[in-house]
Amino acid sequence: MTSLVLALPGNEEAAVEISRRTGSESGRVAVRRFPDGETSFRLLSDPRDRPVVLVCTLDRPDEKMLPLLFAAATARDLGARSVGLVAPYLAYLRQDRRFQPGEAVTSALFAQLLSGAMDWLVTVDPHLHRYHGLEEIYSIPAWVVHAAPLLSSWIKANVREPVVLGPDAESAQWAEEVARGAGAPVAILEKTRRGDRDVEVSVPDSGPWRERTPVLVDDIISTGRTMIAAVRALRLAGCPPPVCLGVHAVFAPGAHEELLESGASRVVTANTIRHPSNDVSVDGLLAQEVTSLEVDS
Ligand code: R5P
């Protein structure tokens, strides 16, 4: 039977695209807050005997998690055959070890919560640093789609004479793949992070590519401190104003504005989190992945 695609609040655009491209039905939910701050959740479409696909990107996850868990449980309660989640941005992956004594390893705890509620999960470029794959913490099938080919195409279409730059060692995995696809040279900068907002980036040797347009590529832009420090270091090294290209536009309050003011020529992100900087759409990739899952099931 045709899948029922349900958008949690704020995910309507992505859900409509996914249901249109997969030929599924777009269902409806009603979510509101009671005056005491509790959540009221209502499923307005019938999930009986159908695969249900919930669409909910998971930036600002704390406020989104309860409505999402209620949606999954209610769909099951009303007879859904299966419940899967499309989460274009998957949160809590950066807390991947106990950095301080007594600290919660929230990546694993969050994964347990989602694994208990969903039958499968699809996401875009999860921030895997010390984990090798989502299967290390998720006990459900978790599929990953990669935005790199889309970022490469964006660079090819929009930047003349680019050099792709990863702002730190962790970003090398994305930057190198994006550079290959764009047919551009690549270099990795050096980052020292002393605190959430205390970041220093240095440029090793810009000699070989100083005349090219720097395109900084990272998976997440959150406080923007990494990108801002990289932009400043590149400008000090005499490079042209860099383009900042990110997959997930997490953007803490004020971060986007500060990044634009720091000397970046342009800030562009994929639409895993809806934001004014979005100029790369992952909807097609997500729809393809959901279609292949349905074919397999
Ligand atoms: C590093 O862990 C990530 O790849 C990003 O560089 C980081 O998450 C960016 O964070 P922020 O924008 O807060 O510097």
Residues with CB under 6 A from ligand 1: 168, 170-171, 199, 218-226
To test ligand 1's pocket by mutation, which of 178, 200, 220 has the most ligand atoms within 8 angstroms of CB? Answer: 220
The alpha carbon of 216 and the centre of ligand 1 are apart by a number of angstroms equal to 12
The alpha carbon of 37 and the centre of ligand 1 are apart by a number of angstroms equal to 32
Strand partners, 146: none
The alpha carbon of 220 and the centre of ligand 1 are apart by a number of angstroms equal to 5
Ramachandran angles phi, psi of 293, nearest 5°: -65, -40
Query: What is the radius of gyration, based on Cα positions, of the chain?
Result: 20
Choose among 218, 59, 213, 242: nearest CA to 151: 218
CA distance 14 to 65: 18
Q: Which of 50, 191, 256, 275 is catalytic?
A: 191
The alpha carbon of 249 and the centre of ligand 1 are apart by a number of angstroms equal to 11
State the average pLDDT over residues 182-189. 96
Q: Read off the pLDDT of residues 253-285 as tens digits, 9 standing for 90 and up.
A: 999 999 999 999 999 999 999 999 999 999 999
Looking at residue 114, what is its pLDDT?
A: 98
State the average pLDDT over residues 111-119. 98
To test ligand 1's pocket by mutation, which of 129, 200, 222 has the most ligand atoms within 8 angstroms of CB? Answer: 222
- Strand, coil or helix: 67: helix
CA distance 117 to 140: 10
Is 191 among the residues known to form the active site? Answer: yes
Phi-psi group of 59: left, alpha or beta (phi > 0 → left; psi -120 to 50 → alpha; rest → beta): beta
pTM, 2 dp: 0.95
Could you give the count of Cα atoms lying within 13 Å of 46 in the half-sphere of its Cβ?
Answer: 3
Q: Read off the pLDDT of residues 194-244 as tens digits, 9 standing for 90 and up.
A: 988 899 999 988 788 988 999 999 999 999 999 999 999 999 999 999 999
Scanning the structure block, which residue is given the tokens 């998720």? 138
CA distance 21 to 42: 25
Q: CA 160, 256, 174 angle in degrees (round to 5)?
A: 55
Contact 4, 27 (CB under 8 A): yes
Q: Read off the pLDDT of residues 39-68 as tens digits, 9 standing for 90 and up.
A: 999 999 999 999 999 999 999 999 999 999
Looking at residue 294, what is its pLDDT?
A: 63
pLDDT class of 296 with cuts at 50, 70, 90: very low
Nearest CA to ligand 1 atom 7: 220
